[in-house]
């Protein structure tokens, strides 16, 4: 992998990590087009590590919110009178909502980095989950905001993150869609999606870091990819929050269907191999 590859993958990661179009799916396609082995442990690890750039973008963008949640959670542990505050409850919501993907991600690691790294899975998931996104918008009540969030909602949306381990589904697409199914409004579902992404992607990046160190992927390329991912993701986060306030996530469905359909045609024609 050279610096051009790392910049391209950094842009793809930063741009797609929080949009409901599947960052893993786009990274897999980009790696294939760049001639990189998509089933390589080092390449898989590289993409997980540069995701931390996107997470740092969330940490910076939501710095005040995260600080308030962390302080509110800690204060509630010490003083019972603070345990009903939104910040204290949100701390528990993020912790509980992060448990499912931690368990599933660890137990299913070999499947995720093995058979699921096929572009056929990417194509199928891009198309199939688009139907779920349409259903979520049509059935959405959007009658609850973050203040009305419950522990059950966080757990359900946390489970939805596990579905996004299938490349092509999209972590944000899964969590926002399921958030809408629970009755949350788009902004609340999107914010919770951002909050839940922090422990999930940070843990994955730190875990995979060992496979990048000592591999044929240089430290410089990894740092560049992470920095590019951070810069692009920061802009994407700011844009998405404004977008979902007044637009349906179905706006992303045509793109997902076109990309998934094009991928099916290319793979079926033999012009590109699935792995």
Segment 219-251, tens digit of pLDDT: 888 899 999 999 999 999 999 989 988 899 999
Report if residue 155 sits inside a domain.
yes
Between 109 and 153, the more confident residue is 153
In a domain, 274, yes or no: no
What's the mean pLDDT in 147-155?
93
Please report, rounded to a whole number, the percentage of residues in the chain having pLDDT higher than 70. Answer: 98
- How high is the pLDDT of residue 269? 93
| 59 in any annotated domain | yes
Asked whether residue 275 is domain-assigned, the answer is no
Domain range for 240 is: 3-269
* Confidence check: pLDDT of 217 > 80: no
| Structure tokens, 41 | 């442990």
> Is 220 exposed, middle or buried (CB count within 10 Å of its CB: 0-12, 13-18, 19+)?
exposed
pLDDT in tens, 49-64: 888 899 999 999 999 9
Please give the tally of structural domains in the chain. Answer: 1
The Cβ of residue 244 has, within 10 Å, a number of other Cβ atoms equal to 22
pLDDT interval class at 86 (50, 70, 90): very high
Q: Is 75 contained in some domain?
A: yes
Specify if 84 maps to a domain.
yes
Give percent above pLDDT 90 in the chain. Answer: 61
Residue 119 in domain: yes
Q: Which residues of 234-243 are buried (b: 16+ CB within 10 A; e: fewer)?
A: bebbeebbeb
Higher confidence at residue 37 or residue 151? 151
Mean pLDDT over 126-130 rounds to 96
Does a structural domain hold residue 216?
yes
């Amino acid at each position: 992998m050279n610096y051009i590859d790392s910049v391209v993958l950094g842009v793809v990661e930063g741009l797609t990590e929080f949009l409901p179009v599947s960052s893993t799916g786009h990274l897999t396609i980009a790696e294939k087009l760049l001639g990189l082995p998509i089933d390589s442990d080092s390449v898989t690890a590289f993409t997980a590590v540069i995701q931390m750039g996107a997470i740092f973008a969330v940490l910076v963008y939501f710095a005040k919110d995260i600080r308030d949640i962390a302080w509110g959670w800690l204060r509630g542990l010490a003083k019972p009178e603070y345990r009903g505050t939104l910040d204290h409850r949100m701390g528990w919501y993020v912790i509980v909502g992060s448990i499912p993907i931690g368990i599933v991600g660890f137990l299913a690691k070999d499947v995720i980095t093995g058979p699921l790294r096929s572009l056929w899975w990417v194509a199928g998931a891009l198309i199939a989950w688009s139907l779920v996104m349409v259903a979520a918008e049509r059935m959405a009540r959007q009658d609850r905001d973050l203040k009305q969030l419950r522990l059950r909602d966080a757990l359900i949306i946390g489970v939805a993150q596990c579905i996004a381990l299938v490349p092509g589904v999209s972590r944000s697409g899964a969590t926002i869609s399921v958030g809408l199914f629970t009755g949350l409004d788009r902004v609340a579902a999107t914010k919770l999606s951002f909050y839940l992404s922090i422990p999930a992607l940070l843990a994955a990046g730190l875990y995979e870091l060992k496979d990048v160190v000592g591999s044929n992927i240089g430290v410089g390329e990894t740092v560049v990819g992470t920095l590019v991912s951070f810069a692009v993701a920061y802009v994407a986060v700011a844009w998405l929050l404004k977008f979902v306030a007044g637009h349906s996530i179905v706006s992303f469905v045509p793109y997902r269907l076109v990309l998934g359909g094009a991928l099916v045609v290319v793979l079926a024609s033999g012009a590109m191999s699935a792995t």
